[in-house]
């Protein structure tokens, strides 16, 4: 058992925070630490830096995704810009450094690269004795995740682990665990029962459409395209915290512009995403690392639409290569692509088997178990 564990995320999108929350819950359930604390690193930075990291990111996702993709590729140069980036981060994270030195955790677990590189620097200067684990929350590895002082990396795919070895990370310091998701996704939930609970029809294809926790993206255009489905279907549209988006979606449904074969249920922010996923057959949306991992854990075939250039494009490539989803680049043919898949039972069954193979329901537990075993080995 650990004495003190500090889990560090950054609220840049919702995924890094959800991964940290999943690990915190797993640690508590397993009794793996006397004390565990989850901290959003950005809460311990100055206001300008915090806005640059969080608000600017969301603005680029919505208004300038191509710029975001260009930045992602430009910065993906292993070991090249780390000194310049670290100098900037150190200047803006002094409160965070004070927190680390005061709290003195036995183990830090980072679900974002910002705290990981600060801890790496402190360990190099012998100003912090904490062991460090880094949990990569996308299917691919970006150069900004790389640092020099750590005990273990956790990644989603074997290919990602091989890539990291080529970049100089020792194989024994890499664990292919999957991306940690809320332990609730490891609990079996019967599809028909979940549909009944949430007021959905028991039969027909159910498609879950998510705009993510922050409700970004032009979701109403996606829903409008799905009205052309030729198969009987029901759509569950999760609008997240975006109240304006929820109103627009509700207005779209109430206008009655859809064909009789398709029903739509609009849901705002929910803590029952695992139940909606258990009720569904398909997950349609952007392939963020956390949402995708949750969907795979619930056995959902992916329908990828408008991935954000950069990490989501790379996630998309991995998912298509693994045979767990389809991608639509042109919304006018979205319904046609889904209809075609529904018409091909053999192809759909193969994809569902691939989903079962790739899904990692217990990733959060597996990560905690690995860390406990490393602690035991170190203390022998």
Sheet holding 2-9, edge to edge: 33-40, 2-9, 107-110, 131-135, 152-155, 174-176
Mean pLDDT rounded to a whole number for the chain? 89
- Asked if 307 contacts 316 with a C-beta cutoff of 8 angstroms, the reply is yes
DSSP structural state of residue 130: -
DSSP structural state of residue 42: G
Tens-digit pLDDT profile for residues 198-253: 999 998 899 999 876 444 457 788 888 898 999 999 999 888 777 777 778 777 77
Query: What's the helix, strand, coil split of the chain in %, to 5?
Result: 50, 15, 30
**Closest to 110 in 3D by CA, of 212, 23, 1:** 23
**Closest to 153 in 3D by CA, of 164, 168, 142:** 164
Angle at alpha carbon of residue 145, lines to 240 and 286, rounded to 5°: 30
Alpha carbon 352 to its chain's center: 20
Tens-digit pLDDT profile for residues 272-294: 999 999 999 999 998 989 999 99
CA distance 173 to 170: 5
Beta-carbon contacts of 143 under 8 Å, excluding residues fewer than 6 positions away, are: 75, 76, 77, 78, 79, 80, 81
What is the reported pLDDT for 11?
87
What's this model's pTM, rounded to 2 decimal places? 0.89
CA distance 359 to 357: 6
Domains and CATH numbers, the chain: 2-181+361-379 (3.40.50.2000), 185-358 (3.40.50.2000)
**Closest to 268 in 3D by CA, of 239, 237, 248:** 239
CA distance 366 to 266: 35
Helix axis angle for 345-358 and 334-343, nearest 10°, is: 100
Residue 64 predicted with pLDDT over 70: yes
- Asked if 245 contacts 267 with a C-beta cutoff of 8 angstroms, the reply is no
Beta-carbon contacts of 277 under 8 Å, excluding residues fewer than 6 positions away, are: 185, 208, 283, 294, 295, 298, 300
Tens-digit pLDDT profile for residues 314-373: 999 999 999 999 999 888 999 999 999 999 999 999 999 999 999 999 999 999 999 999
Find the length of the chain: 380
CA distance 7 to 18: 11
């Amino acid at each position: 058992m650990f004495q003190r564990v500090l889990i560090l995320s950054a609220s840049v999108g919702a995924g890094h925070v959800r991964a940290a929350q999943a690990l915190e819950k797993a640690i508590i359930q397993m009794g793996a630490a006397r004390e565990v604390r989850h901290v959003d690193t950005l809460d311990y930075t100055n206001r300008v830096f915090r806005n640059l990291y969080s608000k600017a990111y969301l603005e680029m996702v919505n208004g300038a995704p191509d710029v975001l993709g260009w930045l992602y590729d430009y910065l993906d140069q292993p070991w090249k810009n780390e000194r310049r980036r670290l100098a900037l981060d150190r200047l803006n994270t002094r409160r965070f450094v004070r927190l680390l030195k005061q709290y003195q955790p036995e183990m830090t677990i980072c679900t974002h690269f910002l705290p990981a590189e600060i801890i790496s620097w402190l360990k190099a200067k012998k100003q912090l004795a904490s062991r460090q684990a880094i949990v990569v929350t996308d299917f691919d590895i970006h150069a900004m995740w790389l640092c020099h002082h750590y005990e273990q990396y956790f990644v989603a795919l074997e290919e990602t682990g091989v890539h990291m070895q080529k970049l100089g990370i020792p194989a024994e310091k890499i664990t292919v665990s999957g991306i940690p998701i809320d332990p609730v996704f490891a609990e079996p939930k019967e599809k028909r029962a979940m549909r009944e609970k949430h007021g959905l029809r028991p039969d027909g294809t159910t498609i879950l459409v998510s705009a993510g926790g922050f409700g970004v993206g032009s979701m109403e255009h996606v829903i409008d395209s799905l009205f052309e489905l030729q198969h009987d279907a029901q759509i569950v549209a999760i609008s997240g915290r975006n109240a304006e988006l929820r109103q627009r979606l509700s207005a779209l449904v109430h206008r009655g512009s859809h064909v009789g074969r398709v029903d739509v249920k609009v849901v705002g922010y929910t803590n029952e995403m695992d139940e909606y996923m258990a009720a569904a057959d398909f997950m349609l949306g952007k392939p963020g690392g956390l949402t995708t991992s949750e969907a795979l854990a619930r056995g959902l075939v992916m329908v990828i639409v408008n991935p954000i250039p950069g990490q989501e494009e790379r996630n998309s490539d991995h998912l298509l290569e693994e045979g767990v989803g389809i991608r639509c680049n042109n919304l006018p043919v979205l319904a046609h692509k889904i209809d075609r898949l529904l018409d091909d039972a053999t192809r759909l069954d193969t994809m569902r088997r691939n989903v079962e193979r790739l899904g990692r329901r217990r990733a959060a537990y597996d990560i905690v178990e690995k860390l406990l075993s490393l602690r035991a080995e170190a203390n022998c």
